[in-house]
Chains A and B, each alone.
Chain A
């Protein structure tokens, strides 16, 4: 929107990202961890779109490279969404499989890879 500084969007994105990071470290429920990961991905999406809109580059408007960087942000968002979707599907499938095996989805109990 006109009048809203770029920083505002970036600040929101940063806040969401940080919250997601804290959530991954703190929560023990793997499903909630996944949700925090989704939160982080969305923060990144927001950042991409913000930069795509505000074009924080030093190139003149109408330049070919500037045109392509204008659309590049949105392309990134599309792909991030697609990847996030695939990742959620597979990840939740893994959680279901583990639950079926162990009747327990506390992530701290899953430490078979320890050295």
Chain B
């Protein structure tokens, strides 16, 4: 059952990851490809959800939960609200026209993928050692590190969020 594919042994874990990863990749393509913005948003939601599961396989449980709660639960909801608000006003705006620059962008994206992949794949193909211990992604570990070593960035980010709040309220007001 354990065959090797190009030097990599096939395990059930790999197959599981392959399914998850493949679905996430297709969802990502869907974000870009759909003309309808709502469909793009929903693909993105799917992508984030699958990504949360991938985080779980990486033993970063806390991060996975946070991904679901913050990204899919808050950010994507916000996106969908905005799309809905704008959709009410002008449905035809959300369709994209034909554009010759597309092909250049696609080509460059492909080139970027090829360049970086060409560097990663050959040298890292054999690396399967896991260095971190199980349980390193638990809330206790994260909390401990966040409030001792990284307390300064934490405070800075809180100020950043404050600014974000103030800014978005200002921007949304009808009269300043």
Complex formed: what's the CA distance from A105 to B93 in Å?
7
How many residues on chain B are close to A (CB under 8 Å)? 94
- Say yes or no: A9 contacts B82, CB within 8 Å: no
Q: Which residues of A contact B29 (CB under 8 A)?
A: 19
Q: Which residues of A contact B110 (CB under 8 A)?
A: 18
Q: Is A8 an interface residue (CB 8 A)?
A: yes
Residue interface mask B107-144, A partner, CB < 8 A = 1: 01110110011001100111111111000110001100
- Say yes or no: B120 contacts A10, CB within 8 Å: yes
- Say yes or no: B137 contacts A1, CB within 8 Å: no
Q: Which residues B86-106 have CB closer than 8 A to chain A? A: 86, 89-90, 93-94, 96-97, 99, 101-102, 104-106
- Say yes or no: B108 contacts A25, CB within 8 Å: yes
Complex formed: what's the CA distance from A27 to B5 in Å?
37
- Say yes or no: A66 contacts B131, CB within 8 Å: yes
- Say yes or no: A3 contacts B9, CB within 8 Å: yes
- Say yes or no: B164 contacts A85, CB within 8 Å: yes
Q: Which residues of B contact A3 (CB under 8 A)?
A: 9, 11-14, 128
Q: Is B1 an interface residue (CB 8 A)?
A: no
Q: Which residues of B contact A49 (CB under 8 A)?
A: 55, 58, 60, 63
B residues adjacent to A (C-beta < 8 A):
8-9, 11-14, 16-18, 21, 24-25, 28-29, 31-32, 37, 40-41, 44, 47-48, 51, 54-55, 57-60, 62-63, 66-67, 70-71, 74-75, 78-79, 82-83, 85-86, 89-90, 93-94, 96-97, 99, 101-102, 104-106, 108-110, 112-113, 116-117, 120-121, 124-132, 136-137, 141-142, 145-146, 149-150, 153, 157, 160-161, 163-165, 167-168, 170-172, 174
Known: A4-B57, A52-B60. 8 other contacts (CB 8 A): A9-B58, A22-B32, A31-B83, A31-B86, A35-B31, A42-B48, A55-B132, A85-B74
| Interchain residue pairs with CB less than 8 A apart (9) | A4-B14, A14-B113, A15-B113, A22-B32, A27-B96, A35-B44, A85-B161, A103-B89, A106-B93
